[in-house]
Structure 1
Amino acid sequence: MNIKQLHSFLILCDELHYGRAASRLFITQPSLSQQIKQLESSLKTILFKRKVEELN
């Protein structure tokens, strides 16, 4: 876990949309997705329930 992953998580919580969050962070959506997956792995938990159209 690092500060970059935590910051990305907070922006994603605010946006609830990978594309918009990635845009705010000036990174690509796959990069954001990878950061969140790494954070989930380090915390050994799922942070978001992913659905096709939304995050919960």
Structure 2
Amino acid sequence: MLYYALVFLVVAIIAGVLGFGGIAGASAGIAQILFFLFLAFLVISLIAGLFRSRV
């Protein structure tokens, strides 16, 4: 998932440099959503790992 967030970020940067504002904004928005989903899953996994190791 982090890979796709980075891909959309690169697409947004390239589109922004070339002047495609709409595509750049959409790609940046998708990259931001994927990044925060990745962070949420990371935190959930860390918490689950802590509880699993204590039992």
Give me the TM-score of the superposition, normalised by structure 2.
0.38
Name the one with the larger helix percent: 2
Q: Which has the larger radius of gyration?
A: 2
TM-score scaled by structure 1? Answer: 0.38
